Amino acid sequence: MPAKSEPQGGTLRFVLGDQLNRRVSSLADLDLERDIVLIVEVRDEATYVRHHKQKIAFLFAAMRHFAAELEAEGIAVDYVRLTEPGNTGSFTAELERAVARHAPARVVVAEPGEWRVWEMMQDWRETLPVPLEIRADNRFLCPREDFSHWAEGRHHLRMETFYRGMRRRTGLLMEGGEPVGGRWNFDPDNRKRLPKGHKLPDRIGFQPDAITREAIALVEREFAGHFGDLATFSWPVTRADALAALKHFINQCLPTFGDYQDAMKAGAPYLYHALLSPLLNAGLLTAEEVCWAAERAYRDGAAPLNCVEGFIRQILGWREYVRGVYWARMPEYRDSNALRAERNLPWFYWSGETELNCIANVVADTRAHAYAHHIQRLMVTGNFALIAGLDPAQVEEWYLIVFADAYEWVELPNVHGMVLWADGGVMGSKPYAASGAYIDRMSDYCATCAYDVKVKAGPSACPFNYLYWNFLIENEDRLSGNQRMAMPYQTLRGMGDQRRAEIRRDAASFLGSLRSEPERPHQGDQTANAT
């Protein structure tokens, strides 16, 4: 799409690739006669970490469709393609080039999702020859300042307190100032294991159209060495398809969402999960409309309260909360390493080649779909990273690379805070460490694993079992005074020296065998040099 010539003196509205919403604040008060919308595909954004191929293809396809939708409305769009001659590859230089092209009276943008882009924007105020207006990102239900105000003076930022405030603020699932059903939280009803032979709903996939196929081919050509498959791409990339995906979820999955929210099953990565996070995070859907659609299903009697509350809690609670934590605590937030974890990320996080069947399954799902559901992220790859003492920076980079929904504002608090407890308890009152028994209870992975989840010591034992106790031993000074860890530490204290030595020996032997580089080069996969 070539740059258009237009009357000078209008506003240049710069829309980033994760702000693809017609109602985003940077497009409010748009003047059809004079304004230009700028959208740019830039190499820096695709490579500051080497994102999963599906994430790049998804965003490029969604950006191109969004531009076409704006143009269909009669809006002038200056869309810079990745391989266009002269594309400098960075937000800053592309914005400067566009300002030179169009000589606007001012530039308007919405707040970005990531600190590094926020820093760029502060520089633009100084370097652009025209005024820059940075508007609040109105796609969230809790403005950044409101969260920061709430967080001021608190060391511990507890999700539950924040969430109740958000229920009151929005009126979602509220009646006369009280929570509908008399309870704020239905989590205890939402921990069922998937019964054998349970029939899961069919999920709708979205066949790539010509624009999306072109984006996929571009990514295959330009980012061939990145992690991930493209053949399985079936994400919705337009507003209309995003709404169809939401409708499908509400009708087919929400009524059972809560029951099996924590379950895992080999070969079934989606279960009853929404698959809406890439769409929400890129702007194709808003948190507000998704929450109200779920509430409507409850009011209409189409979905039970435990499922609807469980779902709304994820978005109105967790999603808004992690974004708030990110902006309230950055940039220092990412620097802490409360448990002094330093081990390198094992190579099997990329290759999936490991006898740990749970990890092999989650990595395979992730490679194929740029997706794993919450409990897979938290209790399999996350729990392993925690109890094996993996370096937070390396783990964070992995999570930022491999998922289609990954942006630092949401990835970092989830990994640094919720999973690794590297923030020393800002987010969670205790680390989510677990042995193999949890994975066995919630999944079918253990049934076909080379290790035995019931065995606690020796070569056939499930490594999660001794790594769990080893984690407690290694962090005894830091964690044993935590009230919420009192039970496991009491059990640990009841173990004799011999048992402790056995745990230390098994853990050292297993951890010593981990490799952070491939044993043989992977053809066509340069992920080893990725970072």
| Binding-site ranges for ligand SF4 (CB under 6 A) | 356-358, 436, 439-440, 445-446, 449, 451, 453, 462-464
Query: Least distance from C-beta 471 to ligand SF4, angstroms?
Result: 15
Q: Which two tokens stand for residue 428?
A: 């969670």
- 17 versus 352: smaller Cβ distance to ligand DLZ: 17
* The one among 80, 99, 406, 449 contacting ligand FAD by CB under 6 A: 406
Q: Which two tokens stand for residue 515?
A: 């490799």
Give the interface segment with ligand DLZ, choosing from 13-21, 339-347, 361-369, 444-452 (CB under 6 A). 13-21
| Position 275 contacts ligand FAD (CB under 6 A) | yes
Query: Least distance from C-beta 407 to ligand DLZ, angstroms?
Result: 5
Distance of CA 389 to the CA centre of its chain: 21
Residues 391-410 that bind ligand DLZ (CB under 6 A): 407
Cα(429)–Cα(157) distance, integer angstroms? 9
Cα(396)–Cα(49) distance, integer angstroms? 11
Q: For the chain, what percentages of helix, strand and coil (3-state, to nearest 5) are there? A: 50, 5, 45
Give the interface segment with ligand FAD, choosing from 121-129, 325-333, 411-419, 521-529 (CB under 6 A). 411-419
Question: How far is residue 111 from each of residues 130, 198, 375, measured CA to CA in Å?
Answer: 18, 44, 30
| Position 287 contacts ligand DLZ (CB under 6 A) | no
For Cα atoms 292, 293, 297, give the angle at the middle one, nearest 5 degrees. Answer: 110
- 374 versus 500: smaller Cβ distance to ligand FAD: 374
- Residue 59 binding result from ligand DLZ, ligand FAD, ligand SF4, none, given CB thresholds of 5 to 8 Å by partner type: ligand DLZ
Cα(391)–Cα(386) distance, integer angstroms? 9
Cα(125)–Cα(139) distance, integer angstroms? 23
Residues 279-298 that bind ligand FAD (CB under 6 A): 280-281
For ligand FAD (CB under 6 A), the number of binding residues is: 28
Cα(90)–Cα(243) distance, integer angstroms? 31
| Position 415 contacts ligand FAD (CB under 6 A) | yes
Cα(503)–Cα(253) distance, integer angstroms? 42
N residues, the chain: 531
CB 373 within 8 A of CB 269: yes
* The one among 18, 397, 411, 474 contacting ligand DLZ by CB under 6 A: 18
CB 518 within 8 A of CB 347: yes
| Position 304 contacts ligand DLZ (CB under 6 A) | no
Query: Least distance from C-beta 369 to ligand FAD, angstroms?
Result: 11
Residues pairing with 132 in the sheet = 107
Residues 114-143 that bind ligand DLZ (CB under 6 A): 114, 117
- Residue 462 binding result from ligand DLZ, ligand SF4, ligand FAD, none, given CB thresholds of 5 to 8 Å by partner type: ligand SF4
Residues 312-331 that bind ligand FAD (CB under 6 A): 314-315, 318-319, 322
> How would you classify the pairing of strands 174-175 and 178-179?
antiparallel
| Position 378 contacts ligand FAD (CB under 6 A) | yes
- Cis omega before residue 331 (within 30°)? yes
| Position 70 contacts ligand DLZ (CB under 6 A) | no
| Position 17 contacts ligand DLZ (CB under 6 A) | yes
Query: Least distance from C-beta 188 to ligand FAD, angstroms?
Result: 18
Nearest to 432 by CA among 478, 386, 467: 386
Query: Least distance from C-beta 473 to ligand FAD, angstroms?
Result: 24
| Position 20 contacts ligand DLZ (CB under 6 A) | no
> How would you classify the pairing of strands 132-135 and 106-110?
parallel
- Residue 446 binding result from ligand SF4, ligand DLZ, ligand FAD, none, given CB thresholds of 5 to 8 Å by partner type: ligand SF4
* The one among 37, 57, 59, 61 contacting ligand DLZ by CB under 6 A: 59
Residue 79 phi, psi dihedral angles, 5° rounding: -110, 120
- Residue 66 binding result from ligand FAD, ligand SF4, ligand DLZ, none, given CB thresholds of 5 to 8 Å by partner type: none
**Three-state secondary-structure class, residue 512:** helix
Cα(279)–Cα(376) distance, integer angstroms? 20
Amino acid letter, 402: V
Contacts to ligand FAD by CB under 6 A: 273-277, 280-281, 311, 314-315, 318-319, 322, 373-374, 377-378, 382, 399, 403, 405-406, 410-411, 414-415, 418-419
Contacts to ligand DLZ by CB under 6 A: 16-18, 40-42, 45-46, 51, 56, 59, 112-114, 117, 407
